[in-house]
Amino acid sequence: MRRAWLLILGLLLVVPAGSGAGPAQRVVVLCSPNPAWCDAVKEEFPKATGIALDYVRLSSGEGLARLRAERRNPSFDVWFGGTGDPHMVAFEEGLTEAYRPRSWNDLRPELREAVGGKYIPLYAGILGWALNERVLRERNAPVPRTWKDLADPRYRGLVAYPNPNTSGTGYTMLATLVQLYGEQQAFELLKQIHRNVAEYTRSGAAPGQLTGRGEVAVGITFIHDAVDQVLKGFPISYGAPRDGTGYEIGGLSLVKGAPNRTAAVTFIEWALTPEAQRLGPERGQSYQIPSNSKTPIPPVAPRFEAFRVIKYDFLKYGSAAVRDRLVKRWTDEVFPLPK
């Protein structure tokens, strides 16, 4: 019996040891893009640098929440990917610090300017929707053309929309509508669309997948996520509203007080190289426009020229005050409405 107790004691000592130990150098990444991309990064970064990498996949809203909760004692070193607004809020709140990478001048100038140096642009992607035309036909609903079309009762139960509380994609749509129509009108429209929403998803990629499976007919998502579904052979098409659509500039940030700062800087420099950025389309099922102008644009990536993209005001709509107010208003006024 005494041996059993020693065993238990040993077990208790092993539990934390088994989880904390590792090679001398490691970097802990808060990873917000497609999990496949995170996996590829986890595999390739140690090969390139010899530094071990651990990541937790959290969508960008969740990521911001986690950084806030751990403000006094961050466990993450770098925040990789995810829509830009939460990166910007994190910077304003002093959760991340400005770091100017060596490859700064290679980054696409329009992206650099749009984010005002508050975080490092990693990629750009356009907001749109995935369409399942078979489901639309079955329900006798036409292909939607504008945001306002989505308010039509014929789309009842056919729309999937990421919850702006947890998804940067969801917030990008919210902010896009506000910039297109003004806040009052945008919320009226969102209330009408709400009645047609089958499911508010947690992540921004999920609506494209629900569309691919025919759970819904219209999935609001970044177009590159819809491209991913098309390439996987799902019977969907994609597009963007003709009344105008928004876009995201995915972020890369150095966490303030990072426990492994040197490794974190090495990671940031590596993540901006063309070799690392190619992992997105090649292995990460992610088809955005890479931020480094030397990285070849994936041939299937949706281009800005093909859609009517608004001049999205990242500095205003990425600010914590505006973001929190809009999301709170949506959460209080739209989300609880009966369907």
Partner 1 sequence: MLAGRVGALVPGVEARRQLADPGLALAFLAGAFALAVFVLYPTVRVLAYPSLQDYLSIPHSVRWVQAARNSLLSAVLSTTTAVAVGLAFAFATTRPDVPGSRFFRAVALLPLFAPPFMVAFSYILLFGRQGLVTRHLLGLDVNIFGPHGLWLVQTVAFFPLAMLVIVGVLESISPSLEQAARNLGADDWQVTRTVTLALARPGIAGAALVVAISVLADFGNAVVIAGGWPLLATEAWFRMEGMADLRGASLVVAMLVVPTTALFLLERYWVGRKRYTTVTGRGGRLERPPTYPPLKWASFAVCGVTSILVLLVYLGVVAGAFTAVWGRDWSFTLDHWRLAADRTPSLWASLRVAAGAGAVTAVAGILLAFLAGRPLPLRRALDFLAVLPGALPGVFVGVGFVLAFNRPPLELVGTPWILILALAFWHLPLGYQAAAAQLQQIDRSIEEAASNLGARGLHLLRDVYLPLLSRAFVEGFTVSFVRAVTNVSIAVFLVSPGNVVATFAILNMIGNGIWGGAAALTTMLLLVTFAVLAGARLVVGRALRPAGVG
Please report how close the Cβ of residue 139 comes to partner 1 at its closest, in angstroms. Answer: 8
Residue closer to partner 1, measured from CB, 158 or 309: 158
Ranges within 206-225 binding partner 1 (CB under 8 A): 206, 208-210, 212-216
Contact present, 110 and 82 (Cβ < 8 Å): no
Single out the segment in contact with partner 1 by CB under 8 A; choices: 114-122, 227-235, 264-272, 274-282: 227-235
Sequence-distant (6+) residues with CB within 8 A of 19 are none
Examine residue 70 and tell whether it contacts partner 1 (CB under 8 A): yes
Instruction: Kindly report the number of other CB atoms within 10 A of residue 99's CB atom.
Output: 18
Structure token pair of residue 80: 């990789």
Sequence-distant (6+) residues with CB within 8 A of 302 are 125, 126, 128, 223, 224, 227, 238, 287
Dihedral (Cα; 166, 125, 36, 86), 10-degree rounding: -30
Rounded Cα distance, 51 and 49, in Å: 5
Interface pick for partner 1 out of 127, 190, 205, 258 (rule CB under 8 A): 205
Interface pick for partner 1 out of 68, 102, 303, 308 (rule CB under 8 A): 68
Residue closer to partner 1, measured from CB, 39 or 44: 39
Ranges within 76-95 binding partner 1 (CB under 8 A): 76
From residue 8 to residue 27, the character string flagging contacts with partner 1 as x (rule: CB under 8 A) and all else as - is x--xx--xx-xxx-x-----
Interface pick for partner 1 out of 54, 92, 106, 188 (rule CB under 8 A): 54
Please report how close the Cβ of residue 123 comes to partner 1 at its closest, in angstroms. Answer: 18
Examine residue 328 and tell whether it contacts partner 1 (CB under 8 A): yes
> How far lies 157's CA from each of 129, 163, 234, 244, 336, in Å?
16, 16, 20, 24, 16
Rounded Cα distance, 253 and 79, in Å: 5
In the block, tokens 């208003």 appear at: 329
Rounded Cα distance, 279 and 294, in Å: 14
Examine residue 200 and tell whether it contacts partner 1 (CB under 8 A): yes
From residue 144 to residue 183, the character string flagging contacts with partner 1 as x (rule: CB under 8 A) and all else as - is -------------x-----x-xx-----------------
Residue closer to partner 1, measured from CB, 91 or 181: 91
In the block, tokens 């426990």 appear at: 259
